[in-house]
Structure 1
């Protein structure tokens, strides 16, 4: 059963990555081009123009490079999601495969993507201080670890909250516990702002929304498509066993 779910997870991750690539191509790449254009204008303004050719052309980066990166990431994510789904199946109360898949995708998106990104949002390529890249990366992953740990603590406490306060009260208390932990961590972690003053706030906002949108498309597709496929597979398995 786990092997079959894993194969389906990998395939769903591949499908989801194609959708995410389409979103990135339409909404993300124009924002990347804006960041590169800003860097080139700054370099030209300071008279630091160079004729060094790029190792990989921009056209290659925006097509084959982007597609291969998204496909590898999405396929691996789909396989990992399937394994987590298999472990959680029949262990999360009276919830069907579709609901479980959607719930896992939502929880993972919030803990792994949304919350760390709210504290340390992405910047367009070529925009920001390259010397601070290591620090920003380290802080982002620390925030990610705190967010995942906080979600694990909240989920572990959920059953006790539900038993004491009922379903909706327990879910609310679980969400509040998670929010309190990550809010305290976010307040303690240092803020990093390396975006140049003259960079367009609109372009920065559009890039960050597009970056978050790519992840939202990927996780939504995995949660919904995998849930429907797993539901069908499990129903067929039950029927064949009768």
Structure 2
């Protein structure tokens, strides 16, 4: 069972990483590069600084990207060009395998036999919990965007993702009136509490560029989760024990 789970997760994570890395390079990386130009122009003496690294996993890590603290010591970043592309692909691969493992474990823990259809359904739930719900309060950010302190954003993101995932479980799996009510409360609670806020300050970054990045990141995140769900379900069936009819054939 464990070997089958790992094999399916590796296959699904690899397929999702290949597809999503290509989408990131084509759709979001140009926006990140453009935003870095604005950030460099707005920061005196920053021309020699190392360009910030783009968020590797769309949406999932978008809220943990840039700390926007000019006093902080510069962190290591991969070089522009091929090193950045390879690092982005590697990070996406690791994330894809991790999420595929989590998706498969949740399906098995809830007594659901993985299949492409069921994998897609659970993947949509994962997208809602990990990507869409947190993005309602903390949309994906480009370099140069004003943001609340990093720790506060990470705490709110984790709280929102966990509460939304539990809420979906209570609504979709338990399916009794009291759990449905509890699930709705859990889903709404983080947004009633409110995401960390930052004082509005003038920014050189065009609002349209930031909105375009957020929309594309959410779209890529949906593709990421959908491919993981479909591929995991298919791989689970492929790596499963052969039926007697299949063995005779």
TM-score (norm 1): 0.73
CA separation in 1, counterparts of 2:8 and 2:125?
20
Q: Which stretch of the first structure deviates more once superposed, 173-182 or 100-109?
A: 173-182
Contact 2:12 2:100 in 1 (8 A): no
What's the secondary structure of 2:239's corresponding residue?
helix
Structure 2 unaligned blocks of 5 or more: 54-76
Work out whether 1:201 is the aligned partner of 2:201: no
2:108 to 86, 89, 98: 89
Quick one: which of 111, 136, 145 aligns to 2:129? 111
Within 1, Cα distance between the matches of 2:104 and 2:11?
A: 15
Q: CA 1:237–1:74 in structure 2 vs 1: closer, same or farther (change >3 Å)?
A: farther
Partner Cα separation in structure 2 for residue 37 and residue 55 of structure 1:
9
Of 218, 222, 225, the match for 2:224: 218
Query: By how many angstroms is 1:120 displaced?
Result: 1.4
1:30 aligns with 2:30: yes
Greater helix share, structure number: 1
Distance 1:69 1:198, change over 3 A: closer
Alpha-carbon distance in structure 1 between the residues aligned to 2:81 and 2:201: 23
Distance 1:81 1:196 in 2: 41
Larger Rg: 1
Corresponding residue for residue 140 of structure 2: 122
- CA change 1:179–1:201 in 2 (3 A) is same
TM-superposed deviation, 1:154? 2.0
Match in the other structure for 1:9? 9
Work out whether 1:146 is the aligned partner of 2:159.
yes
Across the aligned residues of Structure 1 and Structure 2, the Cα RMSD in angstroms comes to 3.7
Q: 1:238 to 1:213 in 2, by over 3 A?
A: farther
Q: Measure the CA separation in 2 of the matches of 1:216 and 1:96.
A: 19
Q: Give TM-score scaled by structure 2 length.
A: 0.71
**1: distance between equivalents of 2:226 and 2:92?**
15
Distance 1:118 1:83 in 2: 23
Tell me the distance in 1 between the aligned counterparts of 2:122 and 2:206.
36
2:69 corresponds in structure 1 to none
* Equivalent pair of 2:4/2:240 in contact (CA under 8 Å): no
Contact 1:11 1:75 in 2 (8 A): no
Aligned partners of 2:160, 2:230: CA distance in 1, in Å? 23
Between stretches 83-92 and 142-151, larger displacement belongs to 83-92
Whether the 8 Å contact between 1:89 and 1:100 is mirrored in structure 2 is: no
2:80 to 51, 61, 64: 61
Flag structure 1 segments of 5+ consecutive residues without an equivalent.
none
